[in-house]
A and B are shown apart, each in its own frame.
Chain A
Amino acid sequence: MDALDNLGVWGSVLVALVWSALPVVFILLYALVTLYMEMKVAAHMQDRLAYMRTGWHGTLQPFADILKLLQKEDTISSAADKKLFILAPYVVFMGTYAAFSAIPFSSIYIGSNIDLGAFFVVAVSSLVVVGILMGGWASNNKWSIFGAMRSAAQMVSYEIPTALAILIAVMITGSLNLQEVTKFQEGGIHNWLIFGGPLPLTQKLLLIPFTLVTFLILFIASLAEVNRTPFDLPEAESELVQGFNTEYSGMRFAMFYLAEYANMFLVSGVAVALFLGGWSSPFGSFLSGPVWGLFWFIGKGMVLVFLQIWIRWTLPRLRVDQLMYTSWKVLTPFMFACIFGVGLILVL
């Protein structure tokens, strides 16, 4: 960052703009790919082909979808609270986008290399709840408010196991900075935190059961945080029509959608950075470096995104009380046990 000092005020503003625009570019490109991937994966799981006519195997379909959403009539129902209604999708997207600034995409690219990275991600992504509540309330629709209330309850409850799971990584690496956490895991697949990290062998072997469970819990909790099946209650189609975004149409609806997809990668990115070695190559120094780092990070993230899609098209949905039960009576106690166990092992 020293080079920035020589650029003058406008120069550094420009650099900052470009620097911060990179995640947006990434989110947009990624959303296109994931949109396509989700439809294709879903279709092949269901004995279908999905899009076949727009471009080769329907590859142009996401563009067509976006064009359609752009030109769709944007309706706001007359009884809606207009200001909140208009603001809500942007608040939701903002929460997700802001969290992207602390995600280490590569050894040379991280939006903001802050020491409280992991904490920042957890805190900022909670803003999404505010946006969803705003949208649900402002729609003045009973189904929307149902969805919004469910969403708020769900995200708040599942943030606890998530935060506790992140705490495990922090305990082992001693840092909240996601870049530092990733560097800690460099050197190959055996150094990833999911396999105990680069610690002395006995400690590592003792840690493995705990870290595996922690990663699993983090993944489950993150599914709930992004409202994906089996935790998709806020937008449970068969129950709540479409949940909090029932009344939205056109580009505002697309913003919710974009935020949801971005959120999917965000939670995967956090899981990758904390437990799956982030941008570090699984083969030690082979195929490593900043550009390969980007490849590895996005690749690992996409694998987790694929898993989320896979689960979505396989499982039914939980009920509200079962959802709460899973969070408070299963995941949270397990996480406490893991924290206790990991703490004990690290002290010994």
Chain B
Amino acid sequence: MIESKTLPTRYVTRPGEIKTSSGKTLRTDEMIINMGPQHPSTHGVLRLEIVVDGEIIVDVIPHIGYLHRCFEKHAEHMSNYQQVIPYADRMDYVAAMNMEHGYAVAVERMLKLEVPERVEYIRVIMAELQRIASHLIAVGTFGIDAGAFTPFLYAFHDREHILDLFEMTCGARLLYNYIWVGGLSHDLPEQFVDKCKEFCVYFKPRIKQFNDLLTYNEIFVKRCANVGVLPKDVAINYACSGPMLRASGVNWDLRRDDPYSIYNRFEWEPQVGKGEMGTVGDTWDRHIVRMREMEQSVKIIEQALEGIPAGNVQAAIPKKIRPEVGEIYARTETPRGELGYYVMSDGSASPFRVKARSPAFVNLSVLPEISRGGMLADLVLIAGSVDIVLGEVDR
């Protein structure tokens, strides 16, 4: 069962030598196993090459690229800046609204364009609804990684309500092409505000129910606490962002610290890991940060629904956008962390270069660092707590 292939030097730790009672040496060896790309808990097509010593993990090497779809090259070949948006959708397909939002913010900053009030409010509502939907998938699949199947379906049940709201607004349930440069594709339908308020009322007790079922479950806490601890400095050195970074105790949220859209008008708190069940920055902290962020998102949505003004949902912009020659880096906070778009313009109607800094890709790079020395079952949990979406990692 043991690979005869010679190991690259960086794997080699200590091939344990065990002495038998008669003085002979038994050489034990490490085993290399492949987790993925078709493994049930790699959340897509990630391949992890794992070096294990029994159940203990010696090293993990993530292999990515199975879902590479040339986003950046596609973007350069669009004849219009607006045409990039459906591709941005397909990067992080569980948080498509946030992907569009980031791109729209970047191009609008290039154009120095002010979008109507109403657009900003609707964008914030959509982005936060999407954040809840995305976090629901994250915590639900995290439950599956821990062996609990039921919470996953509870999460999906709630996510369904959000998708219904999206469907009502723009007709799509997964990839919306809703937030456009300079505005939105559709205005909100009439019943949206009431339906969305209903959802907020419905959803708050559901968070508590989910916490009772999974988050504070004794077994779950035992599994997650003190596992995959990501210390503050390591998190910063690896440029982690989003719930990954906040769970390690760094109070950093782009919605507050580098404000875009109208987030500075609402009252809400970025959530940080406090190490309630174990160490700051363990997998449980990452889980609870997502749970609490959902509560905060509901808070933002409720405020936005109250203040939503009437008006147009499309700024007056030409059909073919031609930004001045120049470049811009705009970043937004997606459910997975800092999404940056570096857009370069040569003055023509198609972007010269669009580079996406995807949060999950950066967060994934810390995986080997925090899973060494853990057990195989821990690795599954750690990978789950990073909350990767392979569409976004590979782009």
Question: Which residues does A use to contact B, with CB under 8 Å?
Answer: 42, 45-48, 140, 142-143, 145-146, 229-230, 232-233, 236-239, 241, 313-322
Contacts and interface: CB of A to CB of B under 8 A. Distances in A.
A315 B148 contact: yes
B150 A319 contact: no
Nearest to A230: B219
Given A142-B31, A143-B33, A319 B377 contact: yes
A117 to B, nearest CB: 34
A238 B31 contact: no
B375 A47 contact: no
Contact of B217 (A140, A142, A315): A315
A322 B222 contact: yes
A140 B148 CA distance: 29
A233 B145 CA distance: 12
| 4 A-B pairs with least C-beta separation | A317-B147, A238-B41, A46-B153, A316-B148
Contact of B223 (A229, A237, A241, A319): A319
Contact of A316 (B1, B39, B219): B219
B149 A313 contact: yes
Interface residues of B, number: 30
A316 B221 CA distance: 10
Given A229-B147, A313-B149, A317-B219, A239 B380 contact: yes
Contacts of A321: 375
Contacts of B31: 142
B289 to A, nearest CB: 19
A230 B220 CA distance: 10
B154 A47 contact: yes
A322 to B, nearest CB: 6
Interface of B: 1, 31, 33, 39-41, 55, 143-150, 153-154, 157, 213-214, 217, 219-220, 222-223, 375-378, 380
B151 to A, nearest CB: 9
B146 A48 contact: no
A246 B335 CA distance: 34
A47 B40 CA distance: 23
Contacts of B39: 241
Nearest to B227: A319
Given A237-B40, A314-B213, 12 more contacts: A47-B153, A142-B31, A230-B147, A236-B377, A238-B41, A315-B147, A315-B219, A316-B148, A318-B223, A319-B378, A320-B55, A322-B222
A142 B223 CA distance: 24
Given A143-B33, A316-B220, A318-B219, A238 B145 contact: yes
Given A47-B153, A229-B147, A239 B376 contact: yes
A146 B376 contact: yes
A238 B153 contact: no
A35 B213 CA distance: 25
A46 B209 CA distance: 13
A166 B325 CA distance: 82
A43 to B, nearest CB: 9
Contact of B150 (A45, A146, A317, A322): A45
20 contacts: A42-B150, A46-B154, A47-B157, A142-B33, A233-B377, A237-B41, A238-B146, A241-B39, A241-B40, A314-B150, A314-B213, A315-B217, A315-B219, A316-B146, A316-B220, A317-B146, A317-B147, A317-B377, A318-B219, A320-B55
A48 B149 CA distance: 13
Given A143-B33, A232-B147, A238-B147, A316 B153 contact: no
Contacts of B146: 238, 316-317
B154 A236 contact: no
Contacts of A316: 143, 146-148, 214, 217, 219-220, 223
